[in-house]
Amino acid sequence: MHDFALQERQVLGELAAWIADRRDAPVLIPPGSAGALPAVGASGIGIRATWAVLRDVLLPSSFPADHPRYLAFVGGSPTPAAVIADAALSAAAVYGGSELEAGDVVVAERMAVRWLCDVIGYPEDAHGVFVSGGSLANLSALVAARHDRVGSGGGLPDVIVISAAAHSSIRSAAAIMGCRVVSAGSPDHPTGAADLAPVLDSLDPRDIVAVVANAGATNTGAIDDLAGIAASCEARGIWMHVDAAYGGAALLSPARRPQFDGIQRADSVTIDPHKWLFTPFDCAAVLYLDPAVARSAHRQRAAYLDAVDNDDDNPADYAAHLTRRARGIPVWASLVANGTDAYVDAVETCLAVAGYAAKQVEATPHLELVTEPRLSVVLFRRIGWDAARYTAWSAGLRSRRTALVTPTTYAGEPALRLCFVNPLTSTDDVDFILNTLEPDTSPALEDVTDTDHRATGDSRSW
């Protein structure tokens, strides 16, 4: 079972070709359309038959997040270099918790972390670690924040103050920690220092774990007044955490960077390379202005860890984990292979296509923008449609396997949301989606004629 016999070697070769070619001939099928899956039984069916099911049934039933018309939620588009490194990492069986076991893999991860710290504007002694996603990154940062407050001699703080548009993972982290959440501002607008001040003034600073600000709200792309919030936190001695899981990549755009002023003053920052920094799932980073605080909060001690306790920089020590995948390696490999200029260009491409989408909406009589576009999120409405109509339209696109666009809510009303984080998404893709919203289009798209070669299961190229 553990040897690479002839069939395993043959399948490996096929897998390599499939990885390289999957964008050239994607075949997407509706989930459940292929019938029953092979059962788990006492006798196996062999790797060739298993690979056939995986290739032809399981994977095509998903809507891949790197599809150019995956514009729901926040997708991602890994570079080939990152994909290759990720595959090699899986095969190499690297435990990424300590340098004792991972060797120079940890050194390379530190280089990727350092690049992210530089992007944020953090000083040389800042540090962090790659974790599975923004949820764990946010939780780890907030645990470190509370540890810092307890360590200063106060009681156990139990209040997390959040921007009203904070990601759902913040409330989840608060529940895990036994904390309550108090919000400031509006979920539809950036939160400013003026929104935050009355909330902070109503609380005892000793009860506050942290203030959480957004640098690219998931639903709208809004960036809070980071400089003003930083000043408020500094004046009160409160930990400031910035959730830049989605939006932080826009720091690479020289024109957008001023919008993030103040992020470099945050005590911790979350940023997800598997979103807009072109890395495979799953990969997020939590970065700390003072990594010693995080290490003190998260380091685990036990007799079986004595061999690595003398290492002053174990990746396992900076988040709520012990066993970990060396998720930073695909980030490092892609940066080394492609160079940082390519990353800047890719982010700028996404911003440009988002700008094009906004202009097309403005120019279309039966469509309307619902808010000023922020970063690469475009929120708009099809005039005259209600929530049910949006849902049916979205389901029609998905059932035809042409696009994944989901409705959302803004200012209490249903709307459509396009999020551009894939440089392969073109203006043609935007036009295709907007054309399905013509006045005579039914919500289920029965009458839509798909003339775009990328829209169907027998498409030849993304």
Stretch 255-271: mean pLDDT, rounded?
Answer: 98
| Contact present, 369 and 221 (Cβ < 8 Å) | no
Tokens 């036009």 found at: 431
CB 78 within 8 Å of CB 279: yes
- Alpha-carbon span 81 to 103, nearest angstrom: 21
Q: What is the pLDDT of residues 279-327, one digit of tens each?
A: 999 999 999 999 999 999 999 999 889 888 766 789 999 999 999 999 9
Phi, psi of 156 (to 5 degrees): -85, 105
Query: pTM for this structure?
Result: 0.93
Write the pLDDT tens digit of every residue in 215-245: 999 999 999 999 999 999 999 999 999 999 9
Secondary structure (3-state) at 30: coil
Residue 257 pLDDT level (bands cut at 50, 70, 90): very high
Residue 443 has pLDDT above 70, yes or no: no
Q: Is pLDDT above 90 for 449?
A: no
Residue 429: predicted pLDDT: 97
Q: Residue 455: its pLDDT value, please?
A: 39
Q: Could you read off the pLDDT of 119-129 as tens digits, one per residue?
A: 999 999 999 99
Q: What is the DSSP letter of 248?
A: G
Q: Contact at 8 Å (CB) between 361 and 380?
A: yes
The distance of Cα 157 from the centroid of its chain, to the nearest Å, equals: 29
Short-list 448, 446, 440, CA closest to 384: 440
> Among the listed ranges 55-64, 135-144, 417-426, which one has the minimum average pLDDT value?
55-64
* Nearest Cα residue to 325 out of 87, 62, 3: 87
For residue 282, cis peptide bond before it (omega within 30 degrees of 0):
yes
Interatomic CA distance for residues 31 and 12, integer angstroms = 26
Distance CA 364, CA 381 (A): 11
Is the pLDDT at 193 greater than 90? The verdict is yes
pLDDT for 252 equals 98
Q: What is the pLDDT averaged over residues 346-374?
A: 97
Q: How far apart are CA 21 and CA 58, in angstroms?
A: 17
Q: Which residue has the tokens 């120079």?
A: 104
For the purposes of burial, counting CB atoms within 10 Å of the CB of 416, is it exposed (0-12), middle (13-18) or buried (19 or more)?
buried
Residue 218: helix, strand or coil by DSSP?
A: coil
What is the rounded average pLDDT of the residues 20-33? 84
